[in-house]
Amino acid sequence: MAFGPKEYDERNDVGLKSFITFMSRQMLRANVLMTGNAILMGVMVGIGAYGHRYRHHPLTRFFFIGATTLFLPIVSYIVSITGGEFTIAVRRGKALAIGECQSRYHMGLVLLWTSFIQIIGINTTAIVAADDREARTIAPPTALLVQAVWVMYLGATLIAGSEGYGSLDTFLISFVPSALIFIKIFFKYYAWYSARQSFSFGRNPRLVTGYMTENLPTDDSQHAADEQHVPPPLFVSRENTMVVGKNPYGYQIMSCSSSGISTGYRRLSTTTNKRGYLVTIDKVWELDDRLLKSTAQLKDVCFSFALFKILRCHFARYNVTEGAGFMKVREFLWHLLLEDSDGTRTLGVIATELSFLEDYYYSSLPASYSKDWLPISSIFLSLGSIGYGLFIAIKIIMPEIPDFSANVQIECEVTISDRSSHSNKYLVIFGNMLYDLIPLAVVVLLAVLSEVRDIASYVFSDWTKVALMCRYVSWREYPTLRRCIGILLRLRCMLVRPLKDNMKQCSIIVLHPPKFRIGALLRRIIPLPEPKKSVKVPREVKAAIVNTLRSNSGRGDDLRNGKLRWQQLGIQFGNNFIQARGTQGTSDTLLAWHIATTIFEARNPPSLSSSSGSVAMHLSRYCAYLLAYSPQILPDDEKWSKDMYKATKKGAESALRDTVPMATPELEYQQLVRLLGRAGSKHDVLNEGARLGEQLVDLMKGEEGAGWKALGGFWCDMILQMAPSDNLNGHAMALAQGGELITILWALLTHVGIPEATVRTTTMGASPDVV
C-alpha cells in the first residue's frame, strides 16, 4: 500500500493504522477466496474433461459440490466488501477514519472472473434425458440460471453507478459474457428437453421394446443362408421419422420413411418425410464401398450403438428376454463369437457399446444430438467462447501483467478526525492487481480448455461417427458430401477415448511385503485401500474367455442355463477332480482358488511365453481386485464379501509376517504352504487355499504346462459364472468409475441370453457364519 498526498507517522496516527489493518484483512479474504475458487474450478474442469467417472469418488465429489455450492456466496461476499464505490468508517479510541473507496477496475476483473467460472460450470454440468423407468434423468440445474441472473444483476448494479456506463469496455466486460452464458444455458435446456421428447433418446427404450417384440416376426423362412451374416434391422438413428402408436409392449410403429425394414421382416407402410430416413444397422452393414472397406471398424461402431439402445431397455427394466428381435440379436452375436478368433472384435464392440452408455448416463454430449443442428451450433458457441477468452487474455491480462506493481485493486481517500475537530486526509491504496489478474488468467485458460474439450468431443467422438455414418447412408447420391464425411470419419483425437482396455490387479498373498515403506506403515495406522496396479488386458486373456464362452454356444449346457453351482467349479486332471471344500458362495470360493493359484505360481513360475499362465495369473488377480474394490457387482452379498476379504487378507498378512527370501521355488513353495497351514481354524479360506495349492502342485508334477492350462480354463469359467447379474446399479457405477472387464462380459452375456446363475446352494458340511 502507498500513502499520499501527505506524509504521516503511522505510530502516532492510530485511526489511519486501524483503517489500514481493517481494509488489508478485507482484501486478504477476497483474494484468498478468488484464488481458492480458481483452484476449485481447475478441479471441476479436470473432472469434466478427463473423467466425469471420477466425480463419483468421495474426494472429487466433495471438491465438485464445494466448487458449485460456494460460487454464489464467494461472489456476493467479494462484491459486498470490495465492490464499486463505497464508504468505510473505522473508529479507534478518539480517532475516526472515514474512507471513500473505489475499485472500478478491480470489480471489472472480478466480473470477468465470475463470468468465466460460470462458463466452466455450464460446460462441466451433466444432463441426462433418460426414460422414466431408467430413473437416471438429470435436468439442467436451476442453480445455473439463478447464478447467471444474480451475477448479471450484480454487474449491472455496479456498472450502472460507475462513470464508464455505456462505454465499449463496459459492453465487453459485462454484456458479452452474460450473453454467452445465457445462450449456453438456453442450449442446455433446449437440448435436454428435445432429447427427453425424442424417440431416438429419451423415449427410445419403450420404442425399441415394442419394435423388437411386435414388428419382427419369428418366421425365418424368408432368410437365405447367406443372409445370416447380416444383423437384424436394429435402430441406429432417426427414429423420429416414424409414426408411432402405443401398445401393451411399449410403442408400436405405424409407418416409417425408410425402406430399410423390409426384406425378410414384416413390411411397414412407408411415408414421405422431409426429416430424412430411418437408418437401421442392416443397411449400414450392407454398405460395400471404398470407405467402409478401409475402415470396417465404423460398421462395428454403428452396431455397438444399436446394442447400446437395447442395453438401455435392460436398465429400464423392460422385458427383453422374449421377442423375435432379441432372439435375432443373440443369433448374430453368437455368429460373431464363432468367427472371432481371439475375441478382440467382439469384446471391442461391447466395450464401445458401454462407452455409449457411460456417455449417456454421465455426460451432456448425447443430448446435443437430439437435433441435427445442435452439435454444429454448440461448436460455434464454443468457438465464440474461445475467441472471447483469447480477446480478454490479449487485451486485458497480458498488457497489465508487466505493470502490475503500478496497478492496485482499491484506492481510498481517508479522512482522519478526532474530538478536537482536527482532520487529515490521506490517499491509501490496497492490494496488487496480480491477485485479480492471475485468478482471471487461470479461469480463462480453464474455460478455453473446457471449450476445446467440448469441440473435440463433438468432432471426434463415436456419437459423431454414428451421426455421420447415418448421413453417409442417406447421402449416397452426393459424392462430394460423402467424401467430406469420409474424411471426418477417419479423424482421431487423444482427448476423446473410449473405456480403458485395462484390468486392475491385486493379491491376497504378498510373499515378501515391504516392512519399512511409508505406505506400509500408513496402512497399519490408516485404513488405506488395498494396493493395486492397472495393466492392459492381454490378448490371450480375451481369447481364452471368448473361447470358453464359444465352446458353450448352442449346447444349452450348464453355463447357458445358469445351473452350475459355485462349489462344482474345479479342475479335472486325469481321474482326479480338484475343487474347493466347505465354501459357501462366490467370495470364499474365489479367494481359496486365488490362494491356490498363487501357491502354484510360487512353485512353478510360468515362462514368459506361457499364455495359459498369463491367463490364470491375470484373471486370478483381477478377481481378487473385484472382491477388494467392487464387491457390489459380484453375486454374493456386498457386506459379506467385504468382510470375507478383509478377514482373509488380515489372516494372510499375519501368517506371512515371518517369510524370508528363499533360494529356489521349491523352498519358497514349502515355506508358503507351511505358514498358511498354521493360520488356524479361524481362517478356513486360507487353510482351504493352502490345501488346494498343495494338491495342485502334487498332481501336476512334471506337467506344469498342463497345470497352467487347467488353471487358465478354471478362471475363465469362474469369471463367466460371476458375470451374469441383475445388479444394474452396480454395473452402472462401475461404468461411472471407468468400466470393468466383468462389466463388458456382463453386457455380452446379457445380449446372448445367458441369465444370472441363481443356484448357489451350500455344500455338504458348510455352515453359515454366526452373526
If the chain, 771 residues long, is cut into consecutive pieces of 10 residues, what is the mean pLDDT of each piece? 45 72 85 77 62 56 68 76 74 79 78 86 88 90 85 74 59 81 94 93 90 62 51 87 76 61 36 57 76 69 94 88 78 85 89 93 90 92 94 86 71 76 76 82 89 88 86 66 65 64 88 56 53 88 91 53 51 78 83 93 83 93 93 89 90 83 84 79 81 89 87 92 86 86 93 63 38 37
Angle at 594 between CA 619 and CA 611, to 5 degrees: 40
CA-wise closest residue to 159 among 211, 107, 93? 107
* pLDDT (0 to 100) of residue 367: 92
The phi, psi pair for 512, rounded to 5°, reads: -130, 80
* pLDDT (0 to 100) of residue 267: 36
* pLDDT (0 to 100) of residue 228: 54
Task: Tally Cβ neighbours within 10 Å of residue 678.
Answer: 12
d(CA 154, CA 288): 60
CA-wise closest residue to 593 among 711, 704, 510, 672? 711
* pLDDT (0 to 100) of residue 645: 92
Cell of 12: 502516532
Q: Supply the angle between the helices 14-50 and 71-82 in degrees, to the nearest 10.
A: 150
* pLDDT (0 to 100) of residue 337: 85
Are 667 and 602 a contacting pair, CB within 8 Å? no
d(CA 180, CA 444): 14
First-residue to last-residue Cα distance in the chain: 69
* Residue boundaries of the structural domains of the chain: 3-180+378-445, 204-362, 502-752
* pLDDT (0 to 100) of residue 739: 85
CA 99, 104, 108, 111 dihedral sign is positive
| Strands ordered across the beta sheet of 410-417 | 3-4, 423-430, 410-417, 95-102, 85-92
* pLDDT (0 to 100) of residue 519: 52
d(CA 123, CA 187): 11
Q: Is 431 helix (H, G, I), strand (E, B) or coil?
A: coil
CA-wise closest residue to 215 among 247, 175, 168? 247
